[in-house]
Structure 1
Amino acid sequence: MSIKMIHHICIQTEKYEESLDFYNRIMGFKVVNESKDFHKRDYNTWLKLGNFMIELQTPKMGDKFNKWSCLNSGPVHMGFMVDDVEKEYERIKKLGYDNFKIKKGEIIYKVEGENLFKIKAPEGTEIEIRDTDIL
């Protein structure tokens, strides 16, 4: 196989400033390139965390995006590994971000015995935070 790794995911947003702040300040991505007036879009921005990148785009002029729904096909969420789920939750809360998914009354919950939580980015991308590997 010639595929070496996943390079990036492209996320479109009508809430560019909020999404940029979220991925930069809350998730720890660094802006590596921000292009204005990119192919009829206000912005096309590359953010990097380790070897993984997000291409953050605004809609093309005159376009409106459909709202996010977990009933859409395709990617449902992005998952990130941390050292400690509880500490990461507290870190994000201290930064003032509070758009956490609540499941059965809990923010941090167990799936197959493993702790995780989910947050929603301003544009609607659901992000899973876990501290244990699947394998």
Structure 2
Amino acid sequence: MKIKALHHVCIQTDCYENSKKFYVEILGFEIIKETPRFHDRDYNTWLKLGDFMIELQTSKSGTIFSKWSSMNLGPVHLSFLVDNVEEAYENIKSVGYRKFKIKNGKEIYKVENGSLFKIKAPEGTEVEIRDKADI
């Protein structure tokens, strides 16, 4: 088997409208397909940014999600690359979004080969914005 590419990440939310607004208005995704009443869910929505997609979905009827924690097993955060971290940070702040993660008293911090900041999406997903692809 040879994997060709990462197709999508599925994110479940208990605050659908806020999460959809975050990914579309804050991060710049576009809605490709929004399906109400999908397999016993209120919504299943496909969002796209470049070649990357998010499948955003609500819980199945009667199901209550556990809250997200960075202490869970599996994926811890999503990371997006930008040209200028400070500019991206100011753009997000300018629309009133303030759920930034603070590390050592700072919202933007230096890492090897660049800078980054992290924000929490309405459903709890941690989103990293960084300016260097080097690892």
Q: Same fold (TM over 0.5)?
A: yes
Measure how far apart 1:83 and its partner are. 0.5
Measure how far apart 1:111 and its partner are. 1.9
| 2:46 maps to amino acid | W
Cα displacement string for residues 9-34 of structure 1 (whole angstroms, at most 9, x for unaligned residues): 00000000000000000000000000
| 1:60 maps to amino acid | K
Measure how far apart 1:3 and its partner are. 1.1
| 1:11 maps to amino acid | I
The 1-side partners of 2:64 and 2:121 are apart by 18
| 2:102 maps to amino acid | I
Cα displacement string for residues 85-129 of structure 1 (whole angstroms, at most 9, x for unaligned residues): 000000010011110000111000012252100000000000000
Q: Which residues of 2 match residues 105-116 of structure 1 at below 5 A? A: 105-116=105-116
The 2-side partners of 1:133 and 1:34 are apart by 31
In the alignment, is the contact (CA less than 8 A) between 2:19 and 2:121 conserved in 1?
A: yes
Q: Which residues of 2 match residues 1-135 of structure 1 at below 5 A? A: 1-135=1-135
| 1:16 maps to amino acid | Y
Stretches of structure 1 lacking an aligned partner (at least 5 in a row): none
Q: Report % sequence identity.
A: 62
Q: TM-score, normalised by structure 2?
A: 0.97
The 2-side partners of 1:61 and 1:68 are apart by 19
The Cα RMSD (Å) is 0.9
In the alignment, is the contact (CA less than 8 A) between 2:12 and 2:57 conserved in 1?
A: yes
The 2-side partners of 1:91 and 1:17 are apart by 21
The 2-side partners of 1:70 and 1:127 are apart by 11
| 1:99 maps to amino acid | K
- What is the total number of aligned residue pairs between the two structures? 135
| 1:24 maps to amino acid | V
Measure how far apart 1:133 and its partner are. 1.4
In the alignment, is the contact (CA less than 8 A) between 2:113 and 2:134 conserved in 1?
A: no
Q: TM-score, normalised by structure 1?
A: 0.97
